[in-house]
Amino acid sequence: MPKPIPSSALNRLVVALAYDGLCAFEFGIAVEVFGLARPEMGSDWYRFAVAAVDDGEMRTTGGVRFVADGGMELIERAGTIIVPGWRGIHEAVPEALCAALRTAHDNGATLLSFCSGVFVLAAAGLLNGKKATTHWRYTDALKARFADIAVLPEVLYVDEGSVLTSAGSAAAIDLCLHLIRRDFGTKAANLVARRLVVPPHRDGGQAQFIDKAVPEIHEKARLGPLLDAMRTELADDYTVARLASMAGMSSRTLLRRFEAATGTTPAKWLLLQRLAKAKDLLETSKLGIETIAEASGLGSAANLRHHFRQQFSTTPAAYRESFGTKNVTPLEA
């Protein structure tokens, strides 16, 4: 995991692409996260601009007509570039755009795609030999057209360092919060999530397609408090039998309803919550590794190290060195 670049050396300009046939929701996410004034985040926060891919008046998918203040010349100035969808997965990507994105990437820019925007990055050749994702409806088409990309069809987002891709629609919010967490730390991501009124963290490996939510009100009323209780007492021992008793269900029903609601098993869900807690403590506290392991419910330093290597390909100590509070931009009070 790379160590963050010192704040003074970072280019905080985020440029979102706009094009005829613009995916309005995905573009709106880019504006909402990066384009609003956030004085509470300090003077080093992102700046935002829009780069028009097409000349003149453009249209969104909802029938709105608009013009942008800047053109593709903004791409070469950007530190981060967002491709908020594309006008169609079978629509050609202009070579001028591909060339501009390749140049920006070579110059050190970070590139993000939301949903069908992955086809733009793929057309530019920026995903060759890398892992990527997109909306579950488009993964087969992405695989068929770009054999050099390792397509992950079920995850919410994929971070390949300088190129990041997300699944459809709301998964773009998860990717944006992940980038903020990477650039500024957990506290900043949590503040933005709170303003957006969304969960502060969904792991990138979480399933993007859940067959159905908790189907009945009385089951939702039982599973909701159960999840809250598990989050509150992460260090407790939770067997399936205990969870079923807490929820007032049989073990078989609990497992079925839990996966329908979360997309994963109780054990996997609990592990991700514990790792998220451990990451937060590593970033924001000076507690020892053994204490963090106990506080997050992972039991021992050895167990914490094992799961960190397995999930994040790094160690807790290396993670703290890279993302501890001394290495991220402090937020103004």
Tell me the pLDDT of the chain averaged across its residues. 87
Residues 6+ apart with CB under 8 A from 160: 127, 130, 131, 132
Mean pLDDT of 98-105: 98
Instruction: Say how far apart CA 41 and CA 173 lie, in whole Å.
Output: 18
Over the Cα atoms of the chain, what is R_g?
A: 21
Least confident of 22-31, 48-57, 139-148, 152-161: 152-161
Q: How far is CA 65 from the centre of its chain?
A: 29
Which pLDDT tens digit goes with each residue over 252-294?
999 988 888 887 899 999 999 999 899 889 988 889 999 999 9
pLDDT on residue 328: 45
Give the pLDDT band of residue 319 (cuts 50, 70, 90).
Answer: confident
Which pLDDT tens digit goes with each residue over 212-261?
333 444 455 678 889 989 999 999 999 999 999 999 999 999 998 888 88
pLDDT on residue 202: 60
Over 60: is that where the pLDDT of 207 sits? no
pLDDT on residue 62: 87
- Of 57, 172, 40, which is closest to residue 113 (Cα–Cα)? 172
pTM: 0.70
Mean pLDDT of 311-322: 85
Instruction: Say how far apart CA 52 and CA 75 lie, in whole Å.
Output: 10
At 274, list the tokens. Answer: 């514990």
Which pLDDT tens digit goes with each residue over 169-196?
889 999 999 999 889 887 888 889 888 8
Instruction: Say how far apart CA 92 and CA 46 lie, in whole Å.
Output: 31
Percent of the chain with pLDDT over 70: 88
Summary count for the chain: helices (H), strands (E): 13, 11
Residues 6+ apart with CB under 8 A from 189: 177, 178, 180, 181, 200, 201
Letter string b/e over residues 88-121, b meaning 16 or more CB atoms within 10 A of that residue's CB: ebeeebeeebbebbeebbeeebbbbbbbbbbbbb
Sign of CA dihedral 101, 314, 171, 199: negative
pLDDT on residue 195: 87
Contact at 8 Å (CB) between 238 and 266? Answer: yes
- Residues annotated as part of the active site: 115
